[in-house]
Structure 1
Amino acid sequence: MLDIFLQTLPFFLIIGLGYGAGKTGFFNEEATAWLTKFVFYFALSAMIFRFAANLSLSEVFDWRFIFAYLWATGFVYGIATLVAFLRGVSIEEAAIEAQCAVIGNVGFLGLPMLAMLMGEAAIGPVMLMLSVDLIVFSSLIVVLVTGSRDGRMSFAILRTVGLGLLKNPMIVSIVLGLAWSGLSLPIPAPMNDFLTILGAAATPGALFAIGASLASKSAERPFVAGWLSFCKLVLHPGFVALSALYIFPIAAYPAAVMIAAASLPVAGNVYILAQHYGVAPQRVSASILISTAMAVLTVSLVIGWVSALY
């Protein structure tokens, strides 16, 4: 277990470095925003495209895997929503809290970290989970928040969801990469070197950006944020393990990757959505801060446990 902790520690140290740079003002919010944009649209997209272009659709797509992940994630989503309603919050706030409970930092943290710790074979399962998060749950929050404000479903809502997916560089990179692979096109050496160099900036850049963005966040309403962090770090990987190992049993290795990815802290894009819609941004901010701090230990424990499964 100590070995796993020491392997994950460098990733969180880079997050800590970014946090320190942001907290001291050396790296201000504007600089963080531009670094995040570079990573999101260029470095991470290059990494994902290169990974996807070297996979086949048959290696990535697995209905049983999708059902296992959807069932577990939907169940925890439902728990968080029910608890929110019992506290008397609105549909919009309940949707944001449920998003915190199940959407982890799979793109910026999970993809590079799990590929390094669990091997490049982890890339396919992680990208499949990332696709489900983006297509299903990121769309769901738009439908719930916008629908609750309009009082009905409309074509405009579905159009917003569709355009959001088409503009998301992660989805575009996965689709283009798999299409490239499906056409059996070789990656020319200069192009491969270009993607490798640009993609190599994704891991340190993303981790530093996570830390720098945390510097501007505060732990307001820590009780609710603590509950949402518990959902994300404990309940989510717990129900994913139950689903992947017993309810929709899948092979040991992809199950281990799914559980490890589910143990990641709350994703930063949940805060972007909360800020965009003006729904409980401080609550989300606190959830990201608390879950990321706790993840230094919890993620190591989960990865240490799942490493014994395969």
Structure 2
Amino acid sequence: MWEIFLKTLPFFAVIGLGYASGRARFFTEEATAYLTKFVFYFALSAMIFRFVATLEIGQILDWTFIAAYLSATIVVYLIATAVASFRGIGLAVGAVESQCAVIGNVGFLGVPMFALLLGPEAPRPVIIMLTCDLIVFSSLIVILITVSREGRLSLGILKTVLLGLVKNPMIVSIVLGMVWSSWKLPMPQPVDEFLVLLGAAATPGALFAIGASLASRSAERMSVALWLSFCKLVLHPAAVFVTAILIFPVDAFAAKVMVAAAALPVAGNIFILAQHYGVAPQRVSSAILVSTAISVVTVAAVIAWLSPF
């Protein structure tokens, strides 16, 4: 495990550098917002598009992989929902907590980190997971929060969800990459080099942005943050391990990447949604901060644990 920990440490060191810069106010919240926007709309989107454009459609639409991931994620989601219901909190807050329990920082941390750490084939399963997260669970949280307020499901809610998907640059880059691949279009060398150059900024930019954004987070309601961190860092990868390695016939390498990606800390975009809708943003902030700090050790531990398989 020590060797794997040393390999993952530089990635978390860049996050730590971003955090220190944010805490020292050398990198302000406004600067962090613009860096995040650059990574989200340009660097990471270029990396994802270039990778998807080189794949066969069947490699992305891997229904066995999707079934394994979704079934495990739904189980953990329902566990978090049941615990929230037992504690007597409302539907909206419960939806936010359940989102924290299963949605990791796959886009900003998983795609760039595993591409360097686990090899050039690693982004494929990570991108499939990212697509599931964005289409299924990002839509679900918006629907549940809105239904809890309006008391019904309307066409307006579905329109909002669909519009959110269409405006998401990661979804757009994946779809455009699939179209490029299905049409078997050639990739001109200048375009390819442009995408490589722009995509190369995704890894350091995303990691630094994660750290800088954590600098403005505060840890409150620690018992809830620890429970949600346990769900995300332990229950979720354990459930994925059962479905991807023991139940569904998922390719061995893809299954390992799936489990490792499931062990990533709580995603930062959940805080944006929670803040936008005014539903427990501090609770999400704590879960992100605590899970990210713990994941410095747990991500390496999960990857080491997967080695025998």
Query: What is the TM-score with the length of structure 2 in the denominator?
Result: 0.99
Separation of aligned partners in 2, 1:302 and 1:103: 17
State the Cα distance separating 1:286 from its structure 2 match: 0.3
* In 2: Cα distance, 1:120 partner to 1:305 partner: 21
- C-alpha distance in 1, partners of 2:51/2:308? 26
Q: Which residue of 2 aligns with 1:230?
A: 230
Q: Which amino acid aligns with 2:297?
A: L
Deviates more, 1:61-70 or 1:7-16: 61-70
1:106 aligns with 2:98: no
* 2:259 aligned counterpart, secondary structure: helix
* Matches of 1:292 and 1:215, distance apart in 2: 12
> Is 1:95 the counterpart of 2:95 in the alignment?
yes
For 1:169 and 1:305, locate their aligned partners in 2 and report how far apart those are by CA, in whole Å. Answer: 34
Give the whole-Å Cα distance in 1 for the aligned partners of 2:307 and 2:178: 28
Take 1:122 and 1:197, find their aligned partners in 2: how far apart are those partners? 20
Matched AA of 1:187: M
Q: Distance in 1 between matches of 2:276 and 2:85?
A: 22
Superposed displacement of residue 76, structure 1: 0.3
Q: How far apart are residue 307 of structure 1 and its match?
A: 3.2
Aligned partner of 2:276 in structure 1 is: 276
In structure 1, give the amino acid aligned to 2:175: V
Equivalent position of 1:125 in the other structure: 125
Alignment partners' CA distance in 1, 2:248 and 2:151 = 36
Name the structure 2 match of 1:178.
Answer: 178
The CA distance in 2 between the partners of 1:272 and 1:138, in whole Å, is: 12
Partner of 2:195: 195
**Gap runs ≥5 in structure 2:** none
Q: Distance in 2 between matches of 1:194 and 1:132?
A: 28
1:23 paired residue number: 23
- Where 2:36 maps in the other structure, the secondary structure is helix
Unaligned runs of 5+ in 1: none
Deviations 1:126-151 (A, max 9, x none): 11100000000000001100111110
Aligned residue for 2:122, secondary structure, equals: helix
Q: Could you say what secondary structure the match of 1:264 adopts? A: coil
Hey, what's the Cα distance between the residues in 2 that align with 1:147 and 1:187?
A: 45
Paired-residue identity, %: 67
CA deviations over 1:139-164 (Å, ceiling 9, x no partner) = 00011001111100000000001000
C-alpha distance in structure 2 between counterparts of 1:117 and 1:249, whole Å: 24
In structure 2, C-alpha distance between the alignment counterparts of 1:181 and 1:252, rounded to whole Å:
25
In 2, Cα distance between equivalents of 1:132 and 1:194:
28
Q: Structure 1 residue 3: deviation in Å?
A: 1.1
SS at match of 1:75: helix
Query: 1:300 — aligned with what?
Result: 300
Shift of 1:247: 2.4
Distance 1:3 1:178 in 2: 36
1:147-166 paired onto structure 2 within 5 Å: 147-166=147-166
Shift of 1:101: 0.2
Report matched runs for 1:69-88 at 5 Å.
69-88=69-88
5 Å-filtered alignment, 1:6-45, equals: 6-45=6-45
Task: For residue 249 of structure 1, report the CA deviation from its aligned partner.
Answer: 3.1
CA deviation profile, 1:192-219 (whole Å, cap 9, x unmatched): 1111111111100000000000000000
Following superposition, the deviation at residue 308 of structure 1 comes to 3.1
Shift of 1:305: 1.9
Give distance in 2, aligned partners of 1:10 and 1:185. Answer: 37
Equivalents in 1 of 2:266, 2:308: separation in Å?
25
**DSSP 3-state at the match of 2:279:** coil
- Does residue 290 (structure 1) correspond to residue 290 (structure 2)? The answer is yes
Q: Secondary structure at 1:256's aligned position in 2?
A: helix
Using the alignment, how far apart are the partners of 1:245 and 1:81 within structure 2?
Answer: 25
Q: 1:61 to 1:307 in 2, by over 3 A?
A: farther
